[in-house]
């Protein structure tokens, strides 16, 4: 698919997708003879993961690391061996951080809801 279709499917801007390509986070699968980016279904899935990581505060470097870990997690012949223990531990660290950030976001949302209720009462 072309970048416009990818943008429509993911709700992200063309500029954002181009930026992710430029920094190596989401390189286009191919380019047409005219130089237009072409993306695959796997690219769309990868972009959705990036979109889910963004509000959790992960940096571009951390996103790249996470994507690398997720691509190698548990699907090779060495899955479950000592060779995968370090990546598994790193994934656990990312999970803990994501859970912490989500809890903070939930607290912030609760506070926003309380404030909206106060404003609603005052304007009624």
The rounded distance, in Å, linking the Cα atoms of 55 and 71 is 21
Check whether residue 4 and residue 52 sit in a common domain: yes
DSSP assignment letter at 55: G
Q: What range does the domain containing 82 cover?
A: 73-124
pLDDT digits (tens, 9 = 90+) for 63-118: 999 999 998 754 444 444 445 568 999 999 999 999 999 999 999 999 999 999 99
As a whole number, the mean pLDDT across the chain is 90
Arithmetic mean of pLDDT, 20-41: 93
Closest CA relative to residue 56, chosen from 22, 7, 8, 96: 96
DSSP 76: S
For the chain, what is the domain count?
2
* Whether residues 87 and 121 fall in one domain: yes
* Res 77: pLDDT: 43
What is the chain's alpha carbon radius of gyration, rounded to the nearest angstrom?
Answer: 19
Does 8 fall in a domain?
Answer: yes
The 3-state DSSP class for residue 11 equals coil
Tell whether 121 and 79 lie within a shared domain. Answer: yes
Q: Which CATH number fits the domain that encloses residue 45?
A: 1.10.1660.10
pTM of the model as a whole? 0.79
- Shared domain for 115 and 88, answered yes or no, is yes
């Amino acid at each position: 698919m072309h970048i416009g279709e990818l943008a429509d499917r993911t709700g992200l801007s063309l500029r954002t997708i181009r930026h992710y390509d430029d920094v190596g986070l989401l390189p286009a699968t191919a380019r047409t003879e005219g130089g237009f980016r072409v993306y695959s279904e796997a690219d769309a899935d990868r972009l959705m993961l990036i979109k889910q990581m963004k509000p959790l505060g992960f940096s571009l470097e951390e996103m790249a690391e996470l994507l690398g870990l997720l691509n190698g997690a548990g699907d090779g012949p060495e899955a479950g061996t000592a060779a995968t223990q370090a990546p598994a531990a790193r994934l656990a660290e990312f999970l803990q951080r994501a859970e912490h950030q989500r809890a903070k976001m939930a607290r912030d949302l609760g506070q926003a809801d309380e404030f909206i209720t106060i404003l609603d009462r005052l304007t009624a």
